[in-house]
Structure 1
Amino acid sequence: MELMDKLWNAAKENKQRIVLPEGDEERTIIATEKIQKLGLAFPILVGNEEKILEKAKELGVDLTGVEIINPEKSDRLQDYINAFYESRKNKGMTLEKADKIVRDPLYFGTMMVKLDDADGMVSGAVHTTGDLLRPGLQIIKTAPGVSVVSSFFIMMVPGSKYGENGMLLFSDCAVNPNPNYEQLAAIAIATADTARNLCKIEPRVAMLSFSTMGSADHEMVDKVRKATELAKELRPDLLIDGELQLDAAIVESVAAQKAPNSKVAGKANVLIFPDLQAGNIGYKLVQRFAGAEAIGPMCQGFAKPINDLSRGCNSEDIVNVVVLTAVQAQAQNAK
């Protein structure tokens, strides 16, 4: 947990405003108390204040000093409605529709981030990834030069020698069902940059497949090969290699047999899965079988940080994702 200790300290040094649109959800309320008391961020809960405070009292949670915003009573509601309408009117949006949509806590929270009333947003304890992505893509949009939004998990495997002393980044495990080779290359580059900028490690990126360096021929393998070639061409400064089977990517003895000339094989700390089925299954296998802590899914590629939670998350997971979102916001605000 050395990484999270560093990120917690970084979050405390320059506290960010993080909006939590699932304001009356129990795990979110419990997490908010900890975030507030430890000074990890300025948490903002969205929802009915009376309902949230009543739920907090039932849970024995102290929300003293926490900002709670009810969209229905907010003096910024009309500004958000007007801004949303202006951004979507060319796509058939009307003021009447915008009025209904922006009152939804997820859309309200996203508009807070868009108009700089919050630095980032965390949701997903009860909402799906699609619920988060929809307003994110409509309102926040992708960062300049980024073609696709994707997700990553930071996997912390206790006692493991693989990756970076047991830490690996997995992507994409939550967003893109079947990326084409161009999208897969973009995901690899984005995750490498995340490893470097957020986790402060030098990325060694393995493009995963059921084939290693030509051991099998199939259209699914071809996609990974083309993605690897494109990613290398676009970012020659990064260590990216493939296609690699999982064992060749992380086990040095296997790498010596299957990919002896690779600078990544046997030493990968960033694993790029060929599609969402593989990524989602892969992170859950490691989480359950190896007792790994799976931090995320975090989003990358948005112009401003908004991040997803697993609906199976606990309050500690929410705290950690808020911390990561705050550190992402620090980096973006510094640009």
Structure 2
Amino acid sequence: MDFVQRQKFLAKKNQKHLVLPEGYELRTLKAAKILMEEGIAKRITLLGDPKEIEAIAFEAGLSLESNFFQVINPRDPGDTLEQYAQEYVRLRQHKGKTIEQARIDMQKVLNFGCMMVRLGDADCIVAGADHTTGDVLRAGFEIIKTAPSVKYASSCFVMDVPDKSFGADGLMIFADCATIPDPTAEQLAEITIAACESCKNFLRVEPICAMLSFSTYGSANHPNVDKVIEAVRLVKTKRPDLNVDGEMQLDAALSSSVAKKKAPMSPVAGKANTLIFPDLQSGNIGYKLVQRFAKAGAYGPFMQGFAKPISDLSRGATVDDIVNTCAVMLAQA
């Protein structure tokens, strides 16, 4: 059973409620149809203008008459909108948010969807087919918030490489590849801790985590190396239970023969299933190199560090991409 099949199996078992804020988007509705037909969710809420959604659903060959679907127009005044606006004021009053502005803000589909998840009216949210990553993250940060003790949310990819000698039978966590461009040592430490939790949740194995650099154990001197060294120290201080090591080069993290030469005493070198990149440029380039050259499956980005499951899509996402991402969020809910 591969990664996607496993996530679909878990989602079918969990039977959770998904909100799709871009209910008016054709690919999203085609994905919703598949989720219904395969029994991957208990219920799906689509946000947007009901007439627009109905017209596009017809184009997608989807009937909305089933009780499986709920269509909500966030622009409709009512008790739910008022409840959400009041909660939004409570969350953002320190930023000067007024109830009048909150009522306007809650009519936006991303805000409304995130509030549904925050208040338990839905279990998870997937968006991004028609919004930027910044839009999705902003709504998530302001409304769903990060998990307790987490200051910075980030992201990870699940990579499925054909060579099953790597990672956990070919599955690996890459982080952060989509969220924080130039993380500080503190942020890099939080990315690492969150990625280790993602490894447990997504891969169902204990993380063996390498914090990557162009240096292994002080083989090079540079401020960029110093940042990784400090991040390693912070992780080991905060979470001594995690199997994390670094700084190390990629070949030392993945190759047992190189590990014997460069880091023979490391509990991680040569065996890593979770890779932490020092910045977004290296992470984004790294996962795409593996995806293209190794013909690996690249699933994500999945948000990590949030209090409840939220995920961003590429605006170029295919229907299958949307289905797979929804399945992963439903499995985690």
How far apart are the structure 2 equivalents of 1:124 and 1:62? 23
Matched, 1:223 2:224: no
Amino acid at match of 2:283: G
Report if the CA contact (8 A) 2:171-2:203 is conserved.
no
Report if the CA contact (8 A) 1:154-1:170 is conserved.
yes
What residue number does 1:322 align with? 326
Shift of 1:62: 4.0
What residue number does 2:74 align with? 71
Provide the TM-score with structure 2 as the length reference: 0.94
Cα distance 1:160–1:198, how it changes in 2: closer, same or farther (>3 A)? closer
Unmatched tracts of structure 2, length 5 or more: none
How far apart are the structure 2 equivalents of 1:290 and 1:127? 30
Selected match of 1:164 from 168, 182, 185? 168
Matches within 5 A, 1:130-279: 130-279=134-283
How far apart are the structure 1 equivalents of 2:185 and 2:310? 25
| Secondary structure at the counterpart of residue 97 of structure 1 | helix
Identity %: 51
| Secondary structure at the counterpart of residue 200 of structure 2 | helix
Cα distance 1:89–1:229, how it changes in 2: closer, same or farther (>3 A)? closer
Shift of 1:14: 2.1
What residue number does 1:81 align with? 85
Report if the CA contact (8 A) 2:154-2:176 is conserved.
yes
Map Cα deviations across residues 41-70 of structure 1 (whole Å, 9 max, x no partner): 122111112212211222333444222111
| Secondary structure at the counterpart of residue 71 of structure 1 | coil
Map Cα deviations across residues 164-185 of structure 1 (whole Å, 9 max, x no partner): 1211100011111111111111
- The runs of at least 4 consecutive aligned structure 1 residues that moved more than 6 Å come to none
How far apart are the structure 2 equivalents of 1:293 and 1:162? 14
Report if the CA contact (8 A) 1:209-1:224 is conserved.
yes
Shift of 1:220: 0.2
What residue number does 1:59 align with? 60
Q: RMSD between aligned alpha carbons?
A: 1.5
Report if the CA contact (8 A) 1:171-1:271 is conserved.
yes
| Secondary structure at the counterpart of residue 295 of structure 2 | coil
Unmatched tracts of structure 1, length 5 or more: 330-335
Provide the TM-score with structure 1 as the length reference: 0.94
Shift of 1:240: 0.7
Cα distance 1:324–1:119, how it changes in 2: closer, same or farther (>3 A)? same
What residue number does 2:13 align with? 13
Amino acid at match of 1:68: V
Map Cα deviations across residues 2-57 of structure 1 (whole Å, 9 max, x no partner): 23322212211221111111111121111100111111112211111221221122
Matches within 5 A, 1:43-122: 43-65=44-66, 66-73=69-76, 75=78, 76-122=80-126
What residue number does 1:38 align with? 38
| Secondary structure at the counterpart of residue 72 of structure 1 | coil
| Secondary structure at the counterpart of residue 187 of structure 1 | helix
Report if the CA contact (8 A) 1:32-1:63 is conserved.
no
Report if the CA contact (8 A) 1:189-1:231 is conserved.
yes
How far apart are the structure 2 equivalents of 1:306 and 1:64? 27
Selected match of 1:301 from 299, 305, 327? 305
Return 215-224 or 130-139, whichever deviates more. 130-139
How far apart are the structure 2 equivalents of 1:281 and 1:25? 29
| Secondary structure at the counterpart of residue 265 of structure 1 | coil
How far apart are the structure 2 equivalents of 1:159 and 1:171? 20
